[in-house]
Amino acid sequence: MDSKFTNSVPPAQSALLTRDHIRAIASEAGFSEAGLIALPHPNDERDADRFTAWVRAGRGGTMQYLSRLNEEQQLARARVATPFPWARSAVVCLASYHNAQPKSTDSAPADAAWIARYAWSSRVDAEGKRKPSDYHKVLLKRMKSLESQLYQEFGTFESRAYVDTGPVVERSLATAAGLGWTAKNTCLIHPTLGSYVFLAVLLTSINAEPAHTPLTLPDRCGSCRRCLDACPTNALDAPYQMDATRCISYLTIEHRGPIATELMEGMGRQVFGCDICQDVCPWNRKAPIAVDPELEAREELVNPALDELAALDEHAFEQKFNGSPVRRAGFTGLRRNVAIAMGNSGQQRFQSQLHAWEEGDDEGLRAAAGWALKKLNERKS
């Protein structure tokens, strides 16, 4: 999600955004933490080179939006200045979604699926009913509130706000703004909040106060490699290196069609996203539980039963996940993921459902169901 505000008259040259003020108004808007960085930031070129090399190595898979080029054939996302030459500062806000619910690595029934905890978000509506909440919309509304406050204070300026969908690498900007370090699992880790955080970015044409000391935090992963060792598909093939084409989150959400058979067993019971590399991280054990009424967990999405998800028809899928990030996987995509989880469950009672899916029209679902049946039959014998 994004918002755009463009004005014809720039703020006075002497106008400066300050970190303390940004943190204060971001807190008022509902964010857990916020940072500010002048653009281009000190590691701008280094980060652009790393992103470019990652994309050109094909590690982004089929996520074509990551490799989008501008008219000069430059990667749009590599550096902020490419699509937004007017940007002089970046406000980066964090919203924690940590909760007290079980982790994916905790014991669970053999027939339970796993939906990534960020997709559990919900709120209670005016009638007292719990409804799904899309963090994109929740955080964009908060960012617009912050943007509006700045407009009142600074007058006219140019800006652009994004929550996960713009041509910016939010994690790099958050790291540059001193909000954490990039961990070995490639997630941002805030020293207090951990890595269960959403990121939102506001680019502005207002200058930011200069940093008198380096903002970047030291890497505190040390010798720990729990995330690398825990990744069941070897997507983290080296510290600080992510091959998205092997990542369970990518496979279950972004990838369309059949999934490589050699990756299916490692996908375990994950049907939407994956939390394993975060759930094993020691920094998340210390993170406080978030109190955010717009991002509370929907308990029915915690360890949901595979057969209940399989029983959803397309209409029921839309009803259950309308307004939820889970819709991004699509109806057939979620079924494909459920079929793989059924094969990994060892539960023979899923055979009839898998046989039905093996005869279906969708190639990805057929392939997943066929693999799952073979997997169950191997266990049976």
**Beta carbons of 342 and 310 less than 8 angstroms apart:** yes
Quick one: which of 103, 27, 116, 97 has its CA closest to 287?
97
What is the C-alpha separation between 350 and 7, in angstroms, rounded?
59
SS3 (DSSP) at 162: strand
**Beta carbons of 80 and 90 less than 8 angstroms apart:** yes
CB count, 10 Å around CB of 363? 13
What is the C-alpha separation between 350 and 239, in angstroms, rounded?
38
> Catalytic: 111?
no
* Angle, in degrees to the nearest 10, between helices 363-380 and 351-358: 140
Catalytic residue among 2, 134, 164, 307: 164
Q: Taking phi first (over 0 means left), then psi (-120 to 50 degrees means alpha), and beta for anything else, what does residue 247 get?
A: beta
**Beta carbons of 305 and 113 less than 8 angstroms apart:** yes
Quick one: which of 185, 188, 154 has its CA closest to 169?
188
Q: CA 63, 75, 198: angle at the middle one, nearest 5? A: 55
What is the C-alpha separation between 328 and 292, in angstroms, rounded?
23
Q: Enumerate helices (H) and strands (E) in the chain, giving the number of each.
A: 14, 14
Quick one: which of 187, 63, 195 has its CA closest to 117?
195
Please, which residues bridge with residue 190 across strands? 194
Q: Which residue has the tokens 């200045």?
A: 81
* Cis status of the peptide bond prior to 40, with omega within 30 of 0: yes
List the structure tokens of 259. 């999934």
CA distances from 204 to 1, 199, 207, 214, 320 (A): 17, 16, 8, 21, 38
Q: Kindly state the helix (H) or strand (E) to which residue 20 belongs, with its residue range.
A: helix 19-29
Amino acid present at 361? D
Active site residues: 164
